């Protein structure tokens, strides 16, 4: 059943990958794979393993009933194994003896969490990659579109929208690469038995663990990690970075969409982005929603990092405390990525408004360029004082800065030269080169630190 807030906070494909049914499927997939791993190592017959696997159908189980029964033993695996064993016994009594053999409840929960993460990760990265590709296209299209750069929320020197969009894309891409690496390196099976020794499987234990890893396509750890929770912490950190990259881009879109700025907008069509009381508004609802989801990630990451401190061979409560925060972190981060994809699809860029924004300062934002041009003749300090005084006069009197500087620099710089120095399109530095490095355009794209080297194409 869809929750009241799911349309905003659980958007996109990650939600279904992390709901109760997905968790149940991951738990049962683990039990089925364990049975087959036991058969791979000769501890049960293939026919018995298939009898167990045949009973691992999520449609046969009631997640609500399992959740209620979990209160008895402190986790849902205990009632699930009891019911699974009963179903297998009805088909093959001998096979039922091997259900869950060698494993403890935490083994199944941890392995299921890694399966769930792999599946959710594939869905999240698909949205992230799609958003990145759209932003790269916008960056290439607007490589030389000047706009005001802003520092401390105030206009600073000019930049380009291409460089801004490239920055968003690069942030998403590198964060996605980090998540991919975390999944590749940290998503491992868990099979240690009661205290991490696999004693109940004797000398066959390590072979069963290796077979289980192969069956599930997860990494085989050097040893069980019941209380060494670095794998969960690595995933949490990677998801936190994704949320941060999405949130940064989304917040910029929200700010650039303000009525007074209007340099980008989201074109969502009728009924999208409207206000319940102000019909003239067109809110950037996708970016707003992405930001809302991304802002929830740090607290969830913090909870998972705190849960790393665990006692002895199996912890009392700490690993239990990971289940919901990990699930919610996947959901919120996945939703943020899905909304960012939507925001990128809806985004409309308005170069005319960007030019208006640049003109709003009357050229004072380019004072650094005039100072630099004058420094060889007047000295940097004198040039700085002269230009600063001219800017102050222009602001106080409302006069055009070109005229004020022309008076103060009569015989030193012509009005045309001053006008050229105050043209923002001529003071963009390496914005174009940096954009090319990210979009992969030209030689810079193939030799620099680019998307083609560290972005989606490497996964």
Count CB-CB contacts under 10 A for residue 217: 11
Q: Exposed/middle/buried for 278, CB within 10 Å: 0-12, 13-18, 19+?
A: exposed
CB of 358 closer than 8 Å to CB of 424: yes
3-class state of residue 226 by DSSP: coil
Ranges of H-type helices in 295-350: 297-306, 323-346
Q: Is 117 designated active site?
A: no
Q: What is the token pair recorded at 81?
A: 């194994």
3-class state of residue 62 by DSSP: coil
Residue among 249, 239, 260 at smallest CA distance from 287: 249
| Phi-psi group of 42: left, alpha or beta (phi > 0 → left; psi -120 to 50 → alpha; rest → beta) | left
List Cα–Cα distances, 167 to 170, 252, 275, 393, in angstroms. Answer: 5, 11, 31, 36
Place of tokens 């520092």: 151
In eight-state DSSP terms, residue 200 is: G
CA 302, CA 325: separation in Å to the nearest integer?
A: 9
**The CA-based dihedral angle spanning residues 259, 261, 267, 269, taken in that order and rounded to the nearest 10 degrees:** 10
Give the orientation angle of helix 230-256 with respect to helix 105-141, to 10 degrees.
Answer: 30
Residue among 280, 229, 250 at smallest CA distance from 114: 229
Place of tokens 């206009």: 155
Q: Is 275 designated active site?
A: yes
CA 344, CA 164: separation in Å to the nearest integer?
A: 13
Which is catalytic among the residues 275, 302, 414, 425?
275
Which is catalytic among the residues 143, 215, 314, 369?
314
3-class state of residue 265 by DSSP: strand
CA 389, CA 384: separation in Å to the nearest integer?
A: 8
3-class state of residue 160 by DSSP: strand
- Give kind and range of the element (H or E) at residue 25: helix 20-40
Supply the Cα-derived Rg of the chain in whole angstroms: 29
∠ CA 374-376-382 to the nearest 5 degrees? 60
The catalytic site residues sit at: 275, 314
């Amino acid at each position: 059943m869809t929750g009241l807030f799911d349309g905003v906070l659980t958007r996109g494909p990650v939600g279904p990958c992390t709901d109760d049914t997905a968790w149940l499927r991951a738990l049962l997939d683990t039990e089925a794979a364990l049975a087959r791993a036991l058969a791979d190592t000769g501890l049960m017959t293939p026919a018995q393993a298939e009898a167990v696997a045949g009973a691992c159908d999520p449609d046969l189980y009631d997640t609500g009933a399992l959740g209620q029964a979990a209160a008895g033993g402190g986790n849902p695996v205990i009632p699930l194994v009891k019911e699974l064993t009963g179903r297998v016994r009805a088909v093959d009594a001998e096979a039922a003896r091997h259900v869950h053999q060698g494993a403890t409840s935490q083994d199944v929960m941890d392995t299921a969490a890694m399966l769930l993460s792999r599946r959710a990760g594939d869905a999240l990265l698909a949205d992230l990659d799609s958003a990145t590709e759209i932003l790269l296209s916008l960056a290439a299209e607007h490589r030389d579109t000047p706009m005001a750069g802003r520092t401390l929320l105030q206009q600073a020197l000019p930049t380009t929208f291409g460089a801004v969009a490239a920055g968003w894309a690069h942030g998403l891409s590198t964060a996605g690469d980090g998540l991919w690496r975390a999944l590749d390196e940290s998503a491992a099976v868990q099979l240690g038995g009661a205290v991490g020794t696999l004693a109940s499987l004797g000398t066959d234990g390590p072979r069963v663990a290796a077979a289980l890893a192969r069956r599930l396509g997860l990494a085989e750890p050097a040893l069980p990690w019941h209380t060494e929770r670095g794998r969960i912490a690595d995933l949490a950190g990677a998801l936190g970075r994704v949320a941060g990259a999405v949130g940064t881009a989304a917040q910029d879109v929200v700010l650039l969409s303000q009525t007074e700025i209007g340099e980008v907008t989201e074109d969502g069509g009728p009924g999208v982005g409207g206000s319940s009381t102000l019909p003239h508004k067109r809110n950037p609802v996708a970016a707003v929603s992405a930001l809302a989801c991304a802002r929830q990630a740090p607290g969830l990451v913090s909870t998972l990092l705190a849960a790393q401190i665990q006692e002895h061979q199996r912890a009392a409560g700490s690993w239990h405390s990971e289940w919901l925060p990990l699930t919610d972190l996947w959901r919120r981060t996945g939703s943020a990525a899905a909304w960012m994809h939507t925001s990128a699809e809806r985004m409309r860029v308005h170069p005319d408004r960007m030019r208006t924004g640049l003109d709003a300062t009357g050229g004072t934002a380019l004072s650094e360029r005039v100072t630099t041009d004058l420094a060889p003749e007047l000295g940097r300090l004198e040039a700085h004082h002269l230009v600063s005084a001219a800017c102050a006069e222009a602001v106080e009197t409302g006069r055009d800065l070109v005229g004020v500087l022309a008076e103060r620099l009569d015989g030193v710089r012509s009005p045309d030269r001053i006008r050229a120095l105050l043209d923002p399109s001529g003071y963009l530095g390496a914005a174009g080169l940096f954009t090319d490095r990210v979009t992969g355009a030209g030689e810079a794209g193939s030799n620099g630190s680019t998307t083609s080297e560290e972005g989606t194409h490497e996964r």
